[in-house]
Amino acid sequence: MAKTFAAITGVQGYVPDYILTNKELETMVDTNDEWIRSRTGVEERRILKEPGKATSDMGVEAVKGLLEKTGTTLDEVDMLICATVTPDFPFPDTANVICDKLGIKNAFCYDINAACSGFLFALTTAAKFVESGSHKKVVVVGADMMSSIIDYEDRSTCIIFGDGCGAVLLEPTEEAVGIQDSMLRSDGMGRHYLHQKAGGSLHPATQETVAAKEHYVFQNGRPVFKAAVSGMSDVVTQVMERNALTAENMAWLVPHQANIRIIEAVSRMADFPMEKVMVNIQKYGNTTAGTLPLCLWDYEDKLKKGDNIILTAFGGGFTWGAVYLKWAY
Ligand code: UT7
């Protein structure tokens, strides 16, 4: 029997309208446009400002567009996974809320929390359901409203993050396209460098946790930077080697958009030219689980069937990984 592959058959993104520029950040914290551009590559980021709107609403917009564009009906979707660290609620899952708001009734759905690697973890998980033959139309969403957990008085984090979302449809195919390989990693020691301290069972919300700003992202940037470069370049190199991929026969490297200097270092260490590296950090900043599908969405018209692509990410946990796929359309 021919092997079944899980192929991405459509991608759609959504970013909120409000643009938070470096200039505006200069009025909020002690920073400047030159520092932000040169140290991170971010020029602007999107912020979801509408009262009453949350991560699920970005997911709804992306999934609605995805289903329209791929000619998929609500009833055909049999699974939906949402990667996020900014769910609408601690429970129920944001995936459930997205399905309810859209009227998707035949899907089982859940969230995955792997921070900036969330989309890769969700994509790999979803691919297993498709490859096994049990599920035919699986939606994978990467969505984060980072503005809900960012301290806009902390210049080391507020300049980096933004809100955004992307979604892909995975379908089975017997052609040798789609997800070919993946390598995912986790190391819980990384939690000391990047976390949200309070709001979980260890430190439930109290007046003290709020006053101490413990519901915001904490990041010790330098060790995270180093681990991101070595983690992503390591898995990218290994996935390239074991699939006989080279800078010549690969079309694109799609890295998590956390810092342009991290992206450039990974490209250098993997011996991969920057011309074939997807970059949109200047427009959206770091949207956590949203970065990879937003890159695919922005570059969709440049992609060709059969293109060899590696997606890679690194984030809170630590979590990291690389997925090798052949573009399917
Ligand atoms: O996506 C999840 C994973 N996250 C990441 O991959 C992020 C990894 N880390 C980073 O991208 C970088 O570490 C940051 C962008 C967060 C910080 O850049 P850095 O080059 O590591 O700066 P730093 O924290 O070492 O600070 C260098 C200097 C410090 O001043 P002094 O001590 O040298 O006088 C900071 O106080 O830059 C100062 N600084 C700023 N100056 C202007 C820090 N933030 C700012 C700012 N504007 N926004």
> 191 and 265 share a domain?
yes
CB count within 10 Å of CB 6 equals 27
CA of 220 to the centre of ligand 1 (A): 9
103 plus 200 within the same structural domain: no
> Which of 85, 113, 120, 156 is the best mutation target for the ligand 1 pocket, counting ligand atoms within 8 Å of the beta carbon and taking the most?
156
What angle do the packed helices 260-269 and 221-242 form, to 10 degrees?
A: 40
pLDDT tens-place string over residues 3-58? 999 999 999 999 999 999 999 999 999 999 999 999 999 999 999 999 999 999 99
pLDDT in tens, 262-282: 999 999 999 999 999 999 999
Residue 232, pLDDT > 80, answer yes
Are residues 167 and 231 located together in one domain of the fold? no
CATH number of the domain bearing residue 206: 3.40.47.10
Handedness of CA 92, 13, 292, 285 (dihedral sign): negative
Query: Which atom belonging to ligand 1 lies closest to the Cα atom of 40?
Result: 15
Order of strands across the sheet that contains 5-14: 5-14, 163-173, 138-145, 79-83, 108-112
User: Residue 1 pLDDT > 90, yes or no?
Assistant: no
Domain identity same for 136 and 26: yes
Same domain, 151 and 184: no
Give residue 17's pLDDT: 98
Ligand 1 centroid to 146 CA: how many Å?
18
What integer pLDDT is reported at residue 307 of this predicted model? 98
Q: Where are the alpha helices (DSSP H) in the chain?
A: 22-26, 33-40, 55-70, 94-102, 118-131, 155-158, 207-211, 221-242, 260-269, 281-284, 291-298
- Give pLDDT tens digits for 111-138: 999 999 999 999 999 999 999 999 999 9
Does residue 86 carry a pLDDT above 90?
Answer: yes
Give yes or no: residues 285 and 153 share one domain.
no
Domain end residue (candidates: 131, 159, 176)? 176
Distance 156 CA to ligand 1 centre (A): 6
Computed over every residue of the chain, the mean pLDDT equals 98
Same structural domain for residues 87 and 52?
Answer: yes
Report the separation in Å between the CA atom of 297 and the middle of ligand 1, taken as the mean of its atom positions.
29
Closest CA to 132 of 81, 185, 79, 91: 79
- Indicate the pairing of strand 163-173 with strand 252-255: unpaired
Which residue out of 113, 286, 295, 308 is catalytically annotated?
286
Given phi > 0 = left and psi -120 to 50 = alpha, else beta, which region is 52?
A: left
pLDDT band per the 50, 70, 90 thresholds, residue 2:
confident
Ligand 1 pocket test: pick from 25, 39, 117, 195 the residue with the most ligand atoms within 8 Å of its Cβ: 39
Together in a domain, 129 and 48:
yes
pLDDT tens-digit readout, 177-224: 999 999 999 999 999 999 999 999 999 999 999 999 999 999 999 999
Say what the pLDDT of residue 23 is: 98
State how many domains the chain has. 2
Residue 116 annotated to the active site:
yes
> Do 42 and 172 share a structural domain?
yes
Output b/e per residue, 62-82; b: 16+ Cβ within 10 A.
bbbbbbeebebeeebbbbbbb
41 and 171 fall within a common domain = yes
Which one of 154, 176, 198 terminates a domain? 176
CB of 315 closer than 6 angstroms to any ligand 1 atom:
yes
- Strand, coil or helix: 145: strand
Tokens describing residue 296: 């695919």
Q: Which of the residues 256, 280, 295, 308 is marked catalytic?
A: 256
* 260-269 vs 33-40: helix crossing angle, rounded to 10: 20
The token duo for 155 is: 């210049």
Answer with the one of 176, 203, 231 that is the final residue of a domain: 176
Nearest CA owner, ligand 1 atom 25? 222
- Containing domain of residue 127, as a range? 5-176
For residues 155 and 191, state if they share a domain. no
Domain co-membership, 49 together with 82: yes
232 lines ligand 1 (CB under 6 A): no
Average pLDDT, stretch 64-75? 98
